[in-house]
Amino acid sequence: MATMLTTATDLPQTYVGTRTVRPDGVDKVTGRARFGADFNLPGQLVGRVLRSPHAHARIVSIDTSKAEKLPGVKAVVTRDDFADQPSEFIPAGEMMINYRDMVRNILAREKVLYEGHAVAAVAATSVAIAKRALKLIEVEYEVLPPVIDVMDAMKPGAPVLHEDLFTVGVEPKPDKPSNIAKRVEIAQGDIDAGFSKADVIVEREFKTQPVHQGYIEPHATLASVSEDGSAEVWCTTQGHFIVRAHCARLLGMDIGKVRVTASEIGGGFGGKTVVYLEPLAVALSKKAKRPVKMVMSREEVFKASGPTSGAHVKVKMGATKGGRFVAAYAELRYQAGAFQGSPVQPGVMCAFAPYDIDNVKVIGYDVVSNRPKVAAYRAPGAPISEFAVESVVDELAKKLDIDPVELRLQNAAREGTKAAYGPKFGPIGLIDTLHAVRKTDHYTTPLEDWQGRGVASGFWFNIGGETCVSLTVNEDGTVSLMAGTPDIGGLRASLAMVAADELGVPYDKVRPIIGDTGSLGFNFLTGGSRSAFSGSMAVVEAARQIKADLCRRAAKLWEVPVDQIEFEGGSVRPVGDAATKAKPMSVADMAKVAGKTGGPIGGYGRINAQGAGPSFGTHLVDVAVDPETGRVTVLRYTMAQDAGRAVHPSYVEGQYQGGAAQGIGWALNEEYIYGPDGKLQNAGFLDYRMPVASDVPMIDAIIVEVPNPRHPYGVRGVGETPIVPPMAAIANAIENATGIRFTDLPMSPPKVLKALKERCRNKV
């Protein structure tokens, strides 16, 4: 239920906006906090997965009999242990899911569709026995040619992954299956008329590779199924209610019989919004009648959990010589991995969203190929399309001889702009972030030879969603707060601050925890930059209930009409004619007499949060290019992003800096490298090169606040936008340093050196 909101400015705020120490912090700095692999139960078994060595093959037969007979093996599961699921698309926040695909992803049925695709799982009394058992499972494959790259997968004659996949969104409907799952399009105005008005047109093609979310904690779960068929699951996840829903559905269990506890989560970034091990662990535990613990190795994480799409993008933009964008066109081809569902739709929606352009057309294709099924990765789809667009905007700026920030200011979306993907923007902060960046000392610091500066902006729309928070006032006036979205980086602190300010109690008297699925109503997952936004809304609602209840109790206690009672500054007090009837009582005072006044005091905020506000950001980066080796060094990084209202500024800055660092890796060194056999060659942190501490400078994070009028405090989600601008900002900086426009990510040294040498040769 939506709440009608007061504006942020008239609420008393002691904590919101300050830098408190997070309540779960001590456990994390002492090693006490328990992550997914830190749980153990007596009698537990080790679960391991047998994975396909082939990128594409038909499964002819699976024989687990030898494995089942090995002493110490207590259970084996294959596709036969999971009922098939009908095809049904379910919106799951930012991406769609289909159970028919999901049941095949957790264990292959007709075919294996990527190297690493799970084929069977065992539970045994030791790691050594589990490993031996996997070797005893005999799988007969009919190996098929794989297709990896998105353009190759779209070609007629490419190996087809699914015989029943017919492209949706094209007319006439195709009669032959292909790897193109769907075509989507948004449009406004008249694109051809728009281009005819352009004085300058830039058209470019871009290529990106799949990159992994790179969370340091591998997937891990512990499942225990009892004789009555009820299951307890501990797992590292961004959405334990989602895990519950998927396990219940895939295993044919009542939702109420599955209780999932979210452990502390060691990073997710979207990659832990899906299930891989959990249904297997539950199925194994059900068979073995003992708890089963399963943890992925790092190699399995890379090979068998979803990275984001690799893509091919074409962008064409036209502008008048005065700098007004008159037309914008893009074609996005995203590969989804083994099953359909790449984030091409949000990619299409976000591509030109930062700009006010009358004539826009964006087409997107969702394409399957023999790679792991993609999972969400921080603003899924947007970093790819906006990398391309922001690069083209930079080229336009150069051709028009207009400063790149100025060009963006002239065309920036603002309040009232209608985005090409549909909505009209409310108050938004893109212009503020552009100004903020331009005002910095970084913007005007002189550069040396072979150094360059680049700027880029970015956007993510953010979501709200179903959220439940319970607030309980304990007998001594302390407050227990139970939220239902896993805390991936500071949520508990933010919610506790909001609760403390709402109820007028000291911050350290609020104890926040993340409840399991048995303790709260449905919570959508932590993602979409929604947990602080929606969670705080639910806290406000729960606090509102408590405050109203305290007024009713005081009315009874003081024998005063309830309309002469107010809650203010942490106390209930009589006002008006009754003002002298009683002294104010704090929350703690009221807690002491809770029993006498009706029983335990609590509030339960159950909402489907609406009104999420988009967050815009602008990044500024300086790079140095070594012309003899092609190595790019990031010298300086400044970013400004609109948070609406930063509940905890340090954690908002943290989101900004973390997303920027991921973007730096995506820009310069991260990519999935495949051999011609369709096998992943760099399935480890050695050769999947994420930024280390010496690779990045300090990242100056500027919080801009344009309050979101649809949130009681003005909060906007912030977690995803930070990863959107970095790749283009760095590509623009490299162009500024070298005069060469790179359109192919990552911009790794061999590519940069090759381009520099080719330019030398062409000049001669």
Partner 1 sequence: MRYQAPESLDAAVALLAGAQGEARVLAGGTDLLVQLRADLVDPELIVDIKKIREARTVAEERGGWRIGAAVTGAELKENTRLKQDWPGVVEAANLIGSTQIQGRATLGGNLCNGSPAADSVPALIAAGATAAVVGPRGRRDVPVEDVMIGPRKLSLTKGELIASFFLPPRGRGAADAYLRFIPRTEMDIAVVGVGINLALDGAGTITTARVSLGAVAEKVLLVPEAAQAIVGSRLDDAAQERLAAQARRACRPIDDKRGTIDFRIDVAGVLARRVASIAYERARLR
Partner 2 sequence: MAKHHVAAQVNGDEVEFLCETEETLLDVLRDTLNLTGSKEGCSSGDCGACSITLDGRLVCSCLVLGCEVGGRRIETIEGMARGETLHPLQQKFLEHAALQCGICTPGFLVASKALLERDRDPTETEIRYWLAGNLCRCTGYDKIIKAVMDAAAKMRRG
Start-to-end CA distance of the chain, whole Å, equals: 70
| Residue 673's binding partner out of partner 2, partner 1, none, with CB under 5 to 8 Å set by partner kind | partner 1
- Closer by beta carbon to partner 2, 231 or else 497: 497
> Checking DSSP bridges between strand 451-460 and strand 360-368, what pairing results, if any?
unpaired
- Closer by beta carbon to partner 2, 241 or else 302: 302
CA dist., res. 428 & res. 721, Å (int)? 13
| Residue 753's binding partner out of partner 2, partner 1, none, with CB under 5 to 8 Å set by partner kind | partner 1
Q: For the segment 96-125, give every residue that binds partner 2 (CB under 8 A).
A: none
CA dist., res. 716 & res. 528, Å (int)? 11
Altogether, the residues listed in the chain come to a count of 764
CA dist., res. 551 & res. 544, Å (int)? 11
> Checking DSSP bridges between strand 360-368 and strand 325-337, what pairing results, if any?
parallel
* Cα 496 from chain centre: 23
Name the nearest CA neighbour of 642 among 664, 613, 662, 622. Answer: 613
Please report whether residue 764 would count as binding partner 2 according to CB under 8 A. Answer: no
- Closer by beta carbon to partner 2, 46 or else 243: 46
| Residue 60's binding partner out of partner 1, partner 2, none, with CB under 5 to 8 Å set by partner kind | none
Please report whether residue 34 would count as binding partner 2 according to CB under 8 A. Answer: yes
Minimum separation from the CB atom of position 75 to partner 2 (A): 21
Q: Which residues are paired to 486 by β-bridges?
A: none
| Residue 595's binding partner out of partner 1, partner 2, none, with CB under 5 to 8 Å set by partner kind | none
- Closer by beta carbon to partner 2, 547 or else 645: 645
- Closer by beta carbon to partner 1, 126 or else 629: 629
Q: For the segment 624-653, give every residue that binds partner 2 (CB under 8 A).
A: 648, 650-651, 653
Name the nearest CA neighbour of 709 among 616, 614, 641. Answer: 614
Q: How many CB atoms lie within 10 A of CB 17?
A: 16
| Residue 478's binding partner out of partner 2, partner 1, none, with CB under 5 to 8 Å set by partner kind | none
Minimum separation from the CB atom of position 295 to partner 2 (A): 8
Of positions 13, 14, 18, 38, contacts partner 2 by CB under 8 A: 38
Select the span of 76-84, 154-162, 292-300, 571-579 touching partner 2 (CB under 8 A). Answer: 292-300
Please report whether residue 217 would count as binding partner 2 according to CB under 8 A. Answer: yes
Query: How many helices (DSSP H) and strands (DSSP E) are in the chain?
Result: 20, 28
Minimum separation from the CB atom of position 543 to partner 1 (A): 47
Minimum separation from the CB atom of position 677 to partner 1 (A): 14
Helix (H) or strand (E) holding 224, with range, is strand 220-225
- Closer by beta carbon to partner 1, 231 or else 731: 731
Of positions 654, 740, 751, 753, contacts partner 2 by CB under 8 A: 654
Please report whether residue 131 would count as binding partner 2 according to CB under 8 A. Answer: no
Peptide bond into 42 cis (omega under 30): no
| Residue 681's binding partner out of partner 2, partner 1, none, with CB under 5 to 8 Å set by partner kind | partner 1
Minimum separation from the CB atom of position 759 to partner 1 (A): 14
Minimum separation from the CB atom of position 409 to partner 1 (A): 35
- From residue 349, give the alpha-carbon distance in Å to each of 102, 344, 380, 422: 25, 9, 11, 9
Q: Which two tokens stand for residue 728?
A: 């283009």
- Count residues near partner 2 (CB under 8 A): 59
CA dist., res. 275 & res. 267, Å (int)? 15
Q: At 451, is the secondary structure helix, strand, or coil?
A: strand
Q: At 37, is the secondary structure helix, strand, or coil?
A: helix
Select the span of 175-183, 222-230, 340-348, 687-695 touching partner 2 (CB under 8 A). Answer: 687-695
Minimum separation from the CB atom of position 79 to partner 1 (A): 25
Report whether 270 contacts 95 (CB < 8 A): no
Minimum separation from the CB atom of position 36 to partner 1 (A): 19
- Closer by beta carbon to partner 1, 246 or else 679: 679
- Closer by beta carbon to partner 2, 307 or else 605: 307
Which DSSP symbol is given to 477? S
Question: Hunting for tokens 């707060």 — which residue is that?
Answer: 481
Footprint of partner 1 (CB under 8 A): 131, 299, 628-631, 633, 668-669, 673, 681-682, 686-687, 689, 691-692, 694-695, 748-750, 753-754, 757
Using CB atoms within 10 A of its CB, is residue 52 exposed (0-12), middle (13-18) or buried (19+)? buried
Please report whether residue 298 would count as binding partner 2 according to CB under 8 A. Answer: yes
Minimum separation from the CB atom of position 615 to partner 2 (A): 17
CA dist., res. 531 & res. 8, Å (int)? 18
Q: Which two tokens stand for residue 561?
A: 């009409």
Name the nearest CA neighbour of 679 among 210, 106, 53, 208. Answer: 53
Beta-carbon contacts of 258 under 8 Å, excluding residues fewer than 6 positions away, are: 230, 231, 233, 244, 247, 248, 282, 517
Minimum separation from the CB atom of position 724 to partner 2 (A): 15
Name the nearest CA neighbour of 741 among 410, 446, 397, 462. Answer: 397
- Closer by beta carbon to partner 2, 27 or else 203: 27
Minimum separation from the CB atom of position 659 to partner 2 (A): 8
Q: For the segment 249-278, give every residue that binds partner 2 (CB under 8 A).
A: 264-269
| Residue 19's binding partner out of partner 1, partner 2, none, with CB under 5 to 8 Å set by partner kind | partner 2
Report whether 546 contacts 604 (CB < 8 A): no
Q: Which residues are paired to 624 by β-bridges?
A: 451, 633
| Residue 111's binding partner out of partner 2, partner 1, none, with CB under 5 to 8 Å set by partner kind | none
Q: What's the sign of the alpha-carbon dihedral 658, 663, 664, 669?
A: positive
Report whether 550 contacts 481 (CB < 8 A): no
Of positions 5, 14, 17, 35, contacts partner 2 by CB under 8 A: 35
Minimum separation from the CB atom of position 673 to partner 1 (A): 5
Please report whether residue 155 would count as binding partner 2 according to CB under 8 A. Answer: no
Of positions 2, 7, 32, 583, contacts partner 2 by CB under 8 A: 32
Range list of β-strands (E), 102-219: 111-112, 118-124, 138-143, 180-188, 200-208
> Checking DSSP bridges between strand 138-143 and strand 57-63, what pairing results, if any?
antiparallel
Of positions 179, 213, 470, 526, contacts partner 2 by CB under 8 A: 213
| Residue 218's binding partner out of partner 1, partner 2, none, with CB under 5 to 8 Å set by partner kind | partner 2
CA dist., res. 747 & res. 726, Å (int)? 12
- Closer by beta carbon to partner 1, 230 or else 633: 633
Of positions 579, 673, 692, 760, contacts partner 2 by CB under 8 A: 692
Would you tell me which residues interact with partner 2 (CB under 8 A)?
19, 21-22, 25-26, 28-35, 37-38, 40, 128, 213-218, 264-269, 295, 297-298, 488-490, 648, 650-651, 653-655, 657-662, 684-686, 690-694, 696, 698-699, 701
